[in-house]
């Protein structure tokens, strides 16, 4: 969901990804996992979205984080124990100007052996990277 749309014509070839303090409790393992996935989404692969640099700062934080119960999802075939995460992502220009802000969410209700909350993180990261690609590349 776009909270503050990009109204600029700013484009860049480089970016930095930063974790900002979340408004909800998130354990260190999930923060580390999210940082790694953000780095992969923005800078990884054969054709990276951006090069590492100071063209734009992608600052993200969690505003919702319900890990749910993987066992609950497994035992109830996804009826109970769901996981839902919500990230707020700011795209900030090199001058400190907020270019855009999006809320990116991902949820998991089931999956092989109940699914992992990491799948929700993966979905939220992909949505943020897709927005960056469409607006700033």
Indicate which CATH number applies to the domain containing 12: 3.30.160
**More confident position, 37 or 83:** 37
**More confident position, 30 or 116:** 30
Q: Are 99 and 137 in contact, with CB atoms under 8 Å apart?
A: no
Neighbours of 111 (CB within 10 A): 13
Domain count, the chain: 1
Q: What is the mean pLDDT of residues 73-87?
A: 58
Q: What is the mean pLDDT of residues 19-45?
A: 95
Judged against a pLDDT cut of 50, whether residue 34 lies above it is answered with: yes
Q: What residues make up the domain containing 26?
A: 2-68+83-104+117-136
Structural domain contains residue 36:
yes
Q: What is the mean pLDDT of residues 23-36?
A: 94
Judged against a pLDDT cut of 60, whether residue 98 lies above it is answered with: yes
Structural domain contains residue 110:
no
Structural domain contains residue 8:
yes
Q: Which residues contact 74 (CB under 8 A, 6 or more apart)?
A: 81, 110, 113, 114
Q: Are 104 and 115 in contact, with CB atoms under 8 Å apart?
A: no
Q: Lowest mean pLDDT of 25-29, 37-41, 48-52, 72-76, name the range.
A: 72-76
Structural domain contains residue 128:
yes
Judged against a pLDDT cut of 70, whether residue 114 lies above it is answered with: no
pLDDT of the residue at 116: 60
Structural domain contains residue 56:
yes
Q: What is the mean pLDDT of residues 95-121?
A: 76
Judged against a pLDDT cut of 80, whether residue 66 lies above it is answered with: yes
């Amino acid at each position: 969901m776009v909270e503050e749309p990009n109204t600029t014509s700013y484009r860049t070839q480089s970016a930095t990804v930063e974790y900002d303090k979340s408004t909800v409790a998130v354990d260190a393992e999930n923060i580390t996992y999210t940082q790694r996935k953000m780095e992969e989404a923005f800078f990884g692969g054969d054709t990276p979205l951006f090069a590492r640099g100071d063209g734009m700062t992608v600052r993200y934080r969690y505003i919702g984080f319900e890990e749910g119960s993987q066992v609950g999802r497994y035992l109830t075939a996804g009826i109970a124990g769901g996981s839902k995460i919500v990230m707020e992502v700011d795209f900030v220009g090199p001058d400190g100007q907020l270019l855009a802000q999006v809320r990116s969410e991902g949820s998991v209700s089931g999956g092989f052996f109940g699914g992992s909350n990491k799948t929700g993180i993966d979905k939220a990261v992909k949505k943020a990277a897709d927005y960056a690609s469409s607006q700033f590349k």
